[in-house]
Amino acid sequence: MYKTVSLHTLGCKLNYSETSSMAKQFQNNGIEIREFGEKTDIFVLNTCTVTNNADRECKQIIRSVIRNNPDTYVIVTGCYAQLQPGEISSIEGVDLILGTNEKFKLFDYIDNFETESLSCFGKKQKADIFVSPLDEGNYVGEAFSSDVDSRTRAFLKIQDGCDYNCSFCTIPLARGRSRSLEIGKVIESAQKIIDSGYKEIILTGVNTGDYNFTESGKRYKLIDVLYRLEKLDIKRIRISSIEPNLLSDDIIALVNSSDKFCNHFHIPLQHGDADILKMMRRRYNTDFFHDLIHKLSERVSDVGIGIDVIVGFPGETEKHFENTYNFLNSLPISYLHVFSYSERRNTFAVTLDGKVEVKDRKTRSSVLRNLSNKKRHEFYTSHTGKKAEVLFETGRDGMIEGWTTNYIRVKSEYKKEYENNILPARLTEASGSKFVKGIVE
């Protein structure tokens, strides 16, 4: 009988929330959750396939777990498992591979696997693969989780899949078409999160802004979800990431007028050169993006804006890169998430000419990361001397960290009573781009 399990996640916040749901399935079946790295009867890896590095890391982790604990039953699921089950099954010691749909019904498969495990051979000779095509069904596995143990912030998945066709992206292949959690279930899950003592809900999805659910002839969009969530007794609600074309004026107005919504937006741009952006098949152009960011900064007070950007897309010349740099530098934003382009099978981008050398991708990444540090430092510095509400998490080495609504990391002297509380703090001094010192007042 299996008594213990450890789980590990790679990739996005959505994956983290889904791993949390899998952990709950194990707990409900009487199996104890242990830390990743401990010897356990079962090991589950929830994978990512957004870049070649992500694939490589998946394989390294699987091999290392099997080396350190050859008897553990190894289950691999997630986006990499959905797209490349054959590659994973070639790793000796993997027992079960589950696709994107199957991970929400773990025990349908583990039952079989458990019976066979009672044989004298123990582990499987060859992995069982259960991966169904993603166009079958409209299922959205429910998931919510905390990012830390302190019960401060919980991720709530409201949407899955994507109908967009960005030319570099493999996620629609790994996660299927866009579908949304029933609005009633969103509110039910949010209430469970609140009842568990969390102070902040972070709404997540693959394309969260594309939330679209119809019930009894009424169509609910993201704004309807936000109106309903706002009525709950929650301190903070944050939208994790939203496509620029879906960030509507009514969402901006609600965020600005309600004290529950965080004045923080994370928006994927992907490229600041008009021609490259077009080749990426995004649903907006640089003028639209420019106007959106300025509108946010005018309408939402003290807004924090994070931007996703990719370097090294096929055909990106020094001139294109310079354009992206200058465009980003000109915008009133607070930080960047920088990604190096990675060739993905079955995408349009991989067929394009003009491959950018890996060393150039690295150099350009590092240039934009420096720009991000500069932007973040400026943003942090512009808040010193001001007061802000900070949601404090857990303490370490005599200090405690927390986040403001507009996503400034604040460090204060540790006091037990600060944990999982929103407290007013005076922001005194920015420590580079890492954090701002805060004194609780």
Question: With CB under 6 A as the contact rule, which of the stretches 117-125, 146-154, 167-175, 392-400 interacts with ligand SF4?
Answer: 167-175
Closest approach of Cβ 401 to ligand SF4, in Å? Answer: 29
Residue 331 to residue 341: CA distance in whole angstroms: 22
Residue 421 to residue 403: CA distance in whole angstroms: 11
Q: Taking CB under 6 A as the criterion, which residues in 232-261 touch ligand SF4?
A: 243
Strands 159-160 and 179-180: antiparallel
Burial 9-24, CB ≥16 within 10 A → b, else e: bbbbbbbbbbbbbbbe
Residue 390 to residue 153: CA distance in whole angstroms: 12
Closest approach of Cβ 81 to ligand SF4, in Å? Answer: 18
Block residue for tokens 């109908």? 163
Tokens of 158: 């409201």
Residue 343 to residue 349: CA distance in whole angstroms: 8
Residues touching ligand SF4: how many (CB under 6 A)?
9
Closest approach of Cβ 288 to ligand SF4, in Å? Answer: 15
Closer Cβ to ligand SF4, 139 or 164, answer by number: 164
Block residue for tokens 């900064």? 297
Give me the amino acid identity at 386.
Answer: K
176 part of the interface to ligand SF4, by CB under 6 A: no
DSSP secondary structure, 104-140, as one string:
GGHHHHHHHHHHHHTSTT-S-SS-EEE---TTS----
Question: With CB under 6 A as the contact rule, which of the stretches 17-25, 138-146, 163-171, 366-374 interacts with ligand SF4?
Answer: 163-171
222 part of the interface to ligand SF4, by CB under 6 A: no
Tokens of 37: 């790295």
162 part of the interface to ligand SF4, by CB under 6 A: yes
Q: Taking CB under 6 A as the criterion, which residues in 116-145 touch ligand SF4?
A: none
277 part of the interface to ligand SF4, by CB under 6 A: no
81 part of the interface to ligand SF4, by CB under 6 A: no
Question: With CB under 6 A as the contact rule, which of the stretches 70-78, 86-94, 158-166, 340-348 interacts with ligand SF4?
Answer: 158-166
Closer Cβ to ligand SF4, 111 or 163, answer by number: 163
348 part of the interface to ligand SF4, by CB under 6 A: no
Backbone angles phi, psi at 93, to 5 degrees: 110, -10
Closer Cβ to ligand SF4, 84 or 167, answer by number: 167
Residue 169 to residue 164: CA distance in whole angstroms: 9
169 part of the interface to ligand SF4, by CB under 6 A: yes
Residue 75 to residue 93: CA distance in whole angstroms: 10
Question: With CB under 6 A as the contact rule, which of the stretches 47-55, 160-168, 346-354, 426-434 interacts with ligand SF4?
Answer: 160-168
SS3 190: helix
Of positions 93, 172, 176, 209, contacts ligand SF4 by CB under 6 A: 172
Of positions 22, 171, 181, 190, contacts ligand SF4 by CB under 6 A: 171
Cβ burial of 195 (10 Å; 0-12, 13-18, 19+) is: exposed
Tokens of 295: 């509108």
Give me the amino acid identity at 98.
Answer: L
349 part of the interface to ligand SF4, by CB under 6 A: no
Closest approach of Cβ 283 to ligand SF4, in Å? Answer: 8
Closest approach of Cβ 10 to ligand SF4, in Å? Answer: 17
440 part of the interface to ligand SF4, by CB under 6 A: no
Closest approach of Cβ 363 to ligand SF4, in Å? Answer: 24
Residue 209 near residue 246 (C-beta atoms within 8 A)? yes
What is the distance between the terminal CA atoms of the chain, rounded to a whole angstrom? 54
Closer Cβ to ligand SF4, 174 or 390, answer by number: 174
15 part of the interface to ligand SF4, by CB under 6 A: no
Residue 161 to residue 179: CA distance in whole angstroms: 6
The Cα-based distances of 217 to 49, 139, 214, 226, 304 in angstroms read 37, 19, 6, 20, 37
Of positions 94, 166, 186, 226, contacts ligand SF4 by CB under 6 A: 166
390 part of the interface to ligand SF4, by CB under 6 A: no
The 194-213 site mask, x for binding ligand SF4 (CB under 6 A), equals ------------xx------
Question: With CB under 6 A as the contact rule, which of the stretches 119-127, 161-169, 227-235, 395-403 interacts with ligand SF4?
Answer: 161-169
Residues 6+ apart with CB under 8 A from 378: none
Closer Cβ to ligand SF4, 175 or 376, answer by number: 175
Closer Cβ to ligand SF4, 172 or 272, answer by number: 172
Closest CA to 156 of 210, 195, 193: 193
78 part of the interface to ligand SF4, by CB under 6 A: no
Closer Cβ to ligand SF4, 19 or 49, answer by number: 49
Q: Which residues bind ligand SF4 (CB under 6 A)?
A: 162, 164, 166, 169, 171-172, 206-207, 243
